[in-house]
A and B are shown apart, each in its own frame.
Chain A
Amino acid sequence: MAILEVHNIEKNFGTLQVLQGISFSLEKGESMAIIGSSGSGKTTLLRCLNFLERPDNGKIMVNNEVIFDALDPCTQRESEVRKKRLHFGLVFQNFNLFPQYTALKNITLAAELLAKERPNFQKDKRIILKEIQEKGEMLLAQVGLSDKRDYYPHQLSGGQQQRVAIARALAMEPDILCFDEPTSALDPELTGEVLKVIRNLADRNTTMVIVTHEMAFARDVADRILFMDEGVIVEQGTPQEVFENPKEERTRQFLTRYNES
């Protein structure tokens, strides 16, 4: 059963049609890579899934529950959106860690704030906060940064910052974790450590949507490739299908250009 279903998403910025009817679905545990040239709408699609942009048209369903419907204003209310967006996690291109908090606090902050809304928070405060803390430490270990728990973002390299950002997104236990070009802001020698973490997540069957320019990585890690151009999905399939036997002319052109450079 599909964990995520996206129906006919459209998004315009003024007269510019960025997304022109995007539909796809994603199985639980599947990792999908979205490829395509700059301006093809990949990032906007991710931002729509994370409620950072409001689609002009279309419907998004998670676990058969409608979490966004352009025709139903009820799904767009601020309080509703806040709860529903936690189905998704997002890792940004430029990390966006909170500079005034340590690596560990970056990971635990949102969970702590959310815990305050639990009815038993006052009573079980200590236990709850301790659990969050331990989970944060566990996640730091998972991304290989246990020794950096008390470091501030500016004391970390770009790769380390992005790994903290991945742990921070995981802390909210999203159903679907999205990556927006996670290695594009990194020096080439730092991309490896971040890709390794994402690869580990794929091995653990984390459901992921990864927008990337790292073709070799996409081919290697993703279960499915989605090629976008000018706001539409041109082609999708397994890495083998898309990379080795692309059906569409546009896909072929894109991949050739990529192989040349």
Chain B
Amino acid sequence: MNEIPVIIDRLSESFLLNCQLFALTLIFSLPLGLVIAFGSMSRFYPLRWLSRTFVWIIRGTPLMLQLIIIFYAPGLLDMSFTWPNGASGRFVAAVVAFVINYACYFSEIFRGGIESIPKGQYEAGQVLGMTKTQIFFKVILLQVVKRILPPVGNEVITLVKDTSLARIIANKEIIMMAGEYSSKGLIWPLFATGIYFLIFVGALTLLLGWFEKKLSYFRA
């Protein structure tokens, strides 16, 4: 019985990896998603085609497969580029795969949000002599943020649980850790992992709700 605190300690420690992967993915995929969204809306056809094809490929294949390809391809194809050795290399590869994958999903949410803003908002800014950049950042962006908060919240919550997929390239995240116990016949740690995810998602839900309330002072 006295090994329970030890197991909980090790689970918590491995959940830290899930948290780090989650945070890094968000930090990089949100801005990258915006860039891809602009690519998908570009008036320059080759760029639009490239962006949309890329999104199709990334959304059209499993994240698990992307993890495997991104991690093993440099070695298998004999590229000069290789991931760093050991755990850090596996983690960086996972971050890269997650960022690319989530950026594509975010880009479609952003595109939908941006395209849903009435043309009149742009025109009002234009006739007042504002530049395109000013119109986007001072007028459009906050309205977009307000509109896309629910679908972005959905993606963010999915991301929390998707971080577990990183174990496919041997990142020691929480489910992989619990799996080591269950393979020895101890099943409760696996069930316990659910509690970690539930608490994390619970906190996120509160945060998203708070944010939504913050933006409820206007209607768009």
A interface, CB within 8 angstroms of B: 50-52, 82-83, 85-86, 88-90, 92, 94, 96-101, 109-110, 113-114, 152-154, 168-169, 172
User: Which interface residue of B128, B142, B219 has the most chain A CB atoms within 10 A?
Assistant: B128
Measured between beta carbons, the chain B residues less than 8 angstroms from A109 are: 128, 138
A88 to chain B, nearest CB (A): 7
**Could you say which of A88, A96, A113, A154 contacts B124, with CB atoms under 8 Å apart?**
A96
- A73 to B9 Cα, complex, angstroms: 70
Is A110's CB under 8 angstroms from B128's CB? Answer: yes
B89 to chain A, nearest CB (A): 44
B interface, CB within 8 angstroms of A: 118, 120-121, 123-131, 134, 138-139, 142-143, 146, 217-220
Measured between beta carbons, the chain A residues less than 8 angstroms from B146 are: 100
- A101 to B128 Cα, complex, angstroms: 15
Q: Which 9 pairs from chain A and chain B are nearest by CB?
A: A110-B128, A96-B124, A96-B120, A154-B219, A90-B127, A99-B220, A100-B218, A99-B218, A86-B129
Is A96's CB under 8 angstroms from B121's CB? Answer: yes
Measured between beta carbons, the chain B residues less than 8 angstroms from A153 are: 218-219
- A98 to B124 Cα, complex, angstroms: 8
B139 to chain A, nearest CB (A): 5
Measured between beta carbons, the chain B residues less than 8 angstroms from A97 are: 124
Measured between beta carbons, the chain A residues less than 8 angstroms from B126 are: 51-52, 85
Q: Closest A residue to B146 by CB, please name it.
A: A100
Measured between beta carbons, the chain A residues less than 8 angstroms from B138 are: 109, 113
**Could you say which of B121, B123, B127, B134 contacts A89, with CB atoms under 8 Å apart?**
B127
- A94 to B128 Cα, complex, angstroms: 16
Is A100's CB under 8 angstroms from B220's CB? Answer: yes
Measured between beta carbons, the chain B residues less than 8 angstroms from A99 are: 143, 218-220
Measured between beta carbons, the chain A residues less than 8 angstroms from B129 are: 82-83, 85-86, 110, 114, 172
- A113 to B121 Cα, complex, angstroms: 16
Measured between beta carbons, the chain B residues less than 8 angstroms from A100 are: 142-143, 146, 217-218, 220
- A100 to B146 Cα, complex, angstroms: 10
- A77 to B101 Cα, complex, angstroms: 39
Measured between beta carbons, the chain B residues less than 8 angstroms from A51 are: 126-127
Q: Closest A residue to B217 by CB, please name it.
A: A152
User: Which interface residue of B120, B124, B220 has the most chain A CB atoms within 10 A?
Assistant: B124
- A114 to B131 Cα, complex, angstroms: 9
Q: Closest A residue to B140 by CB, please name it.
A: A98
Q: Closest B residue to A84 by CB, please name it.
A: B129
A258 to chain B, nearest CB (A): 28
Is A50's CB under 8 angstroms from B217's CB? Answer: no
- A52 to B126 Cα, complex, angstroms: 8
Measured between beta carbons, the chain B residues less than 8 angstroms from A98 are: 121, 124, 139
B211 to chain A, nearest CB (A): 15
Measured between beta carbons, the chain A residues less than 8 angstroms from B143 are: 99-100
Q: Closest A residue to B118 by CB, please name it.
A: A96
- 27 example contacts (A-B, Cβ-Cβ < 8 A) are as follows A51-B126, A51-B127, A52-B127, A83-B129, A85-B127, A86-B129, A89-B127, A90-B127, A92-B120, A92-B124, A96-B118, A96-B120, A98-B121, A98-B139, A99-B220, A100-B142, A100-B220, A109-B138, A110-B125, A110-B129, A110-B130, A113-B130, A113-B134, A154-B218, A168-B128, A169-B128, A172-B128
User: Which interface residue of A50, A82, A90, A100 has the most chain B CB atoms within 10 A?
Assistant: A100
User: Which interface residue of B129, B130, B217 has the most chain A CB atoms within 10 A?
Assistant: B129
Measured between beta carbons, the chain A residues less than 8 angstroms from B123 are: 52, 92, 96
Measured between beta carbons, the chain A residues less than 8 angstroms from B131 are: 82
Measured between beta carbons, the chain B residues less than 8 angstroms from A88 are: 127
- A169 to B128 Cα, complex, angstroms: 7
- A242 to B134 Cα, complex, angstroms: 44
